[in-house]
């Protein structure tokens, strides 16, 4: 599964990276972010591309599991 580590980046960069990664059109991705704003924005983007998003919070990191 492809992972995008967007921790430490501020918006809109995590969305830009996720958008690039999703061009490979796989069924599952994992995106790591560390802010509420990025979580919301990446979730919005993933949903617009037809993915379901599962959110897990681990310490300071937010893990977004994208699946089709």
- The binding site for other proteins (CB under 8 A) comprises 10-13, 15-16, 19, 36-37, 40-48
Please, what is the minimum distance in Å from the beta carbon of residue 2 to other proteins? 18
Please, what is the minimum distance in Å from the beta carbon of residue 27 to other proteins? 20
Bridge partner residues of 62 (DSSP): 33, 57
Contact 62, 56 (CB under 8 A): yes
Q: Indicate the residue among 3 and 37 with the shorter CB distance to other proteins.
A: 37
Q: Indicate the residue among 36 and 59 with the shorter CB distance to other proteins.
A: 36
Neighbours of 44 (CB within 10 A): 12
By three-state DSSP, how is residue 9 classified?
Answer: coil
């Amino acid at each position: 599964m492809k992972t995008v580590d967007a921790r430490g980046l501020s918006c809109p960069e995590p969305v830009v990276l996720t958008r690039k990664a999703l061009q490979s059109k796989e069924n599952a991705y994992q995106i790591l972010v560390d802010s509420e704003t990025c979580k919301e924005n990446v979730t919005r983007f993933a949903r617009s591309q037809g993915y379901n998003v599962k959110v897990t919070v681990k310490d300071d990191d937010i893990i977004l599991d994208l699946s089709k």
